[in-house]
Amino acid sequence: MATVRLSFSPAPVHVRTARLVGVAVARRAGVDEALLDEVRLAIGEACTRAVALHRQYGLTELVTVEMSDSGSYTVRVIDHAPIEASIGLTKLPPDELAAESLTEDDLTTGVGFALLAGFVDDLQVRPVEDGPGTEVRMVWPVARR
Amino acid sequence: MELSLATRTVAEHTVLEVGGEVDVYTAPRLRERLIELVDAGARDVVVDLERVEFLDSTGLGVLVGALKRLRTAQGTFGLVCAKEPLLKIFRITALDQVFPIFPTVEAATERDGSGPAS
């Protein structure tokens, strides 16, 4: 089992780094080339969400991305924000997307979740085991080598 | 690739050509440019996404913000996008039902092409 772990301070500039590393490890793990765009987007969305939550709560703790390729390619993005913050993850109906009452931040959150749910067949969002925070766990198949 | 932004005028429309990666880090620059354009009087705005290599939820949020801003200003707002990976993003988020999306700048800038921002 090969595992790569990346931790970064909750700044938007580092999300691109996380995407690049996540895709590089996915390619090395044997994820189909046709899925790599979706892997890139999903890791980016999960990290964007984590960074937004840390900034919202003024947390300076690092966001962690853990990638492993034992049997399948599994990516876990771990934040340390209070768990209540994650409850509002719902897909927005089309007629509400451009509603004046919807703030850009809320729209981005809803759209980000729609992208995660749409691009990741095996997606789990659950509390971390120790302390506050949530883990977004995404799994993709790998080709047999 | 870093975000690139270039503005030109086509058939009385302001066309903003976007290139590179639009994400949580670069989207604020796109938001600023779109606000500048509307503040400067642009009312028929087309955002050309043909050279965009990556677009995330933050970028989509900025585009919806521009659509709303132009709707308030009685303007029009359209997107140019023919790349399947990007079109899939619009479909999955149902934003293909919110934005007028055209395959070419020519189609987007035809008179009555982009229609009222809605």
> Residue B57: its chain A contacts at CB < 8 A?
45, 48, 108-109, 111-112, 115
CB within 8 Å of B96: residues ≥ 6 apart: B87, B90
The residue in chain A having the minimum alpha-carbon distance to the alpha carbon of residue B95 is A94
> Residue B61: its chain A contacts at CB < 8 A?
104-105, 107-108, 111
CA distances from B37 to A43, A98, B5, B68 (A): 32, 20, 12, 14
Strands B101-102, B76-80: pairing kind: parallel
CB contact under 8 A, B92 and A115: yes
Let me know the angle formed at the C-alpha of B51 by B86 and A116, rounded to the nearest 5 degrees.
25
CB contact under 8 A, A97 and B62: no
pLDDT at B17: 98
CATH code assigned at B9:
3.30.750.24
Q: What value does the mean pLDDT take over residues A91-102?
A: 79
pLDDT at A105: 85
pLDDT at B32: 98
pLDDT at A85: 56
Tally A–B CB contacts below 8 A.
80
In a domain, B12, yes or no: yes
The dihedral over CA atoms of B107, B99, B79, B36, expressed in degrees to the nearest 10, equals: 130
Structurally, chain B folds into a number of domains equal to 1
- Say yes or no to pLDDT of A107 above 70: yes
Report the residue from A16, A51, A104 with minimal CB separation from B61: A104
Q: A26 is written with which tokens? A: 């996915």
A35 CA: distance to closest CA in chain B (Å)? 11
Which mean pLDDT values do the consecutive 10-residue runs of chain B (118 residues) have? 93 97 97 97 97 97 96 96 96 95 96 52
Q: What is the C-alpha to C-alpha distance for residues A55 and A19, in angstroms, rounded to an integer?
A: 19
pLDDT at B72: 94
pLDDT tens column, A24-63: 999 999 999 999 999 999 999 999 999 999 999 999 999 9
> In which order are the strands placed within the sheet that holds A72-78?
A3-8, A63-68, A72-78, A134-141, A122-127
B36 CA: distance to closest CA in chain A (Å)? 18
Report the residue from B71, B89, B94 with minimal CB separation from A94: B94
- Please give the backbone phi and psi of residue B27, each rounded to the nearest 5 degrees, phi first: -55, -35
What is the helix (H) or strand (E) element at residue B17, kind and residue range?
strand B13-22
CATH number of the A3-141 domain: 3.30.565.10
pLDDT at A102: 86
Q: What is the C-alpha to C-alpha distance for residues B23 and A97, in angstroms, rounded to an integer?
A: 19
Q: A111 is written with which tokens? A: 């759209």
Report the residue from A45, A51, A97 with minimal CB separation from B94: A97
CA distances from A63 to A52, B3, B55, B98 (A): 11, 24, 22, 33
In a domain, B82, yes or no: yes
pLDDT at B111: 63
pLDDT at A97: 83
Contact B55/B84 with Cβ under 8 angstroms?
no
Report the residue from B25, B92, B95 with minimal CB separation from A16: B25
> Residue A19: its chain B contacts at CB < 8 A?
54
> Residue A92: its chain B contacts at CB < 8 A?
94
pLDDT at A25: 96
- Average pLDDT over chain A reads 90
In a domain, B118, yes or no: no
Q: Which residues pair with B78 in a beta bridge?
A: B46
Least reliable range by pLDDT among A68-77, A100-109, B14-23, B93-102: A100-109
Most B-contacting residue of A108, A109, A121, A136 (CB-CB within 10 A), to test interface: A108
- Say yes or no to pLDDT of A13 above 90: yes
pLDDT at B113: 47
- Say yes or no to pLDDT of A145 above 90: no
Question: With DSSP H G I counted as helix, E B as strand and the rest as coil, what are the percentages for chain B, rounded to 5?
Answer: 40, 30, 30
> In which order are the strands placed within the sheet that holds B13-22?
B4-10, B13-22, B44-55, B76-80, B101-102
- Please give the backbone phi and psi of residue A87, each rounded to the nearest 5 degrees, phi first: -75, -25
Question: What is the DSSP track for A46-92?
Answer: HHHHHHHHHHHTT--SPEEEEEE-SSEEEEEEE--S-GGGGTT--PP
